[in-house]
Structure 1
Amino acid sequence: MKVGIPKGLLYWKYGMFAKTFFEELGCEVIISGDTNNEILNLGINHSVDEACVPMKVFHGHVASLKDQCDLIFIPRLMRLSDKEYICPKFCGLPEMIKNSIPNMPKITEEAIYATSTEELYKSMSKIANKITKDKRKIKRAFQEALTTHQKTLSGINDEKYKLKIALLGHPYNVQDDFINMNIINKLHKLGVGVVTEEFAPQEKINKYTGELFKKPFWTFARHCYGASTYFTEHNKVDGIIYISAFACGIDSVVIELISNRIGDFPFLVLKIDEQTGRGGFDTRIEAFIDMIERRQGCENYLSTYG
């Protein structure tokens, strides 16, 4: 059986888990290509106007796979932690795909709960039953997938740069070079290193989010808020860049929370949609880095006049 995995949304965090799982079940796995203009245009044509860019990109990846596979993995990811949720659109992702893209092959529609290893195994077993009923094979595939995932945890933590920036946002905005217009490479060319939320200790994230009047309902919002606070409180970075998809309700809340917490610490929010121009994007990044450098220069200057 040929199983397609769209290279969008949470592929950037759990893609190797899914790939290994289906391969260990004996499937031929086909991963869609890197995001490009063709993928984006496919997604725009097959999704509603109100959808955010990452969701349109995901539709494009699915559309590019539909004639190559017997089954496409559409993760209906419900929860990653107890009493928390992720983007509400994930809950209805299979329905969105079925109603937007014609002539689809079979897709996975089972809800995935990843609040514990046991819950995740139950969810993935239901998906695996579309392929095999061999319980031992399913369990072995699951264990191999977990091992691979733990060995290939995503995240960036650059060293030996004159400046360091925390790059925050949903993982698909931070990791997909097309969506974020290759911002990591751009920062490197400016002599700036990057660290992502994966390198903030989980206990610190929990500590700082626990200090809020009400803990965020959304897992990635909690991660971004906790990481931003950790990086600034412990002087790990010189500034923060938050990549936000236009019309993302979750981002609008977490950006406000971060801004209120860090005060006048250098903080740049970059909004992305299909109309975002590279020229303006690059100009804002360059101006932000220039501001940080000038700010540090002023702090290091001691006047002889007192």
Structure 2
Amino acid sequence: MDAGDLARRLAESAEAVCRRYLSAGRRHGNYWLVGDVRNTPGRSLFVRLRDTASGAAGKWTDAQSGEHGDLLDVIRESLGLADFRDVAQEARAFLSLPRPDPAPSSRGRPAHERGPAGSSEAARRLWAMAGPIAGTPVETYLRRRDLTALHGTAALRFHPSCFYRADGDGPAETWPAMIAAVTDPDGLVTGVHRTWLAPDGRGKAPVENPRRALGKLRGHAVRLGVASDVLAAGEGIETVLSLRQVLPDLPLAACLSSTHLAALIFPPLLRRLYVLRDDDPAGDHAVATLDARTGEAGIELIALSPRLGDFNDDLRHLGRGALRAILHPQLAPPDVARFLDTVAL
């Protein structure tokens, strides 16, 4: 039984899971309310107890932090577990399921690489092994790119020794890495994106391909904030994070490539989509494809263009004030007041 199966079984007993692992909360209608996924008293986080029009049972969202996930995440975070095997063991114990037979050995392979190559299950194992970015080389790396407003970035984690191979049969190396969760519209982790870093975080690791994705990506994204009627989507994580520096409350999605950007699955309440345009033929094709798709869906599309190569270039070389001024005339008027940090405009 893989992570998806366990999550579905837990969702069938969502209220019982919440009473066990989020005991500081309480039921309110079709939701369980609590302060956060670590079982702090409050009402910021809500867990769906039944399937509804807005989502599946067992899915949860923290309205304050922007975190979201399933009941396996609840077990992991509430108990402080780091290894997916421990999370799965706890879930099986809760569900009164037998332990699985030991899997055949995969000599020489790190735990997250075992199983079908490139699978979502492997991606979820790696995600479960990673931890918060605060005080790590990931935070150093992002701050050196002037990305200092890092609220609502629960989709980013740090792995201190992530395996890297130059090719499928090459020797394994280990480097610190930024791990980004790729999720579907319900918040299920379907893949991860890895950026291998230098040990001090002052740049990328000196490897041939320091960025790689794993798992199912098409239509999904690295999500920063909870999308409702407005969303901004682009390719790169750092490009998308650059908008967060001056549009602090705008929900964002990094799709990791122009192909996956063009295939983005739209949130059900979406009415306006901002597309962070890359100035190349692939970027132009993505915008054209999305323009046709949003037109059919009754969604307004607005392409946002940087002054330099991308929005992180604008941020680093021109500064936040200039980035605000570049974005201001490109935004729909209602979104200027709603999202734009107008300090120094």
TM-score above 0.5, yes or no: no
The TM tier, using the shorter chain, reads: 0.3 to 0.5
- Using structure 1 for the length normalisation, give the TM-score: 0.34
Higher helix proportion: 1
- Using structure 2 for the length normalisation, give the TM-score: 0.31
> Whose RCO is larger (CA < 8 A, sep 6+)?
1
Higher strand proportion: 2
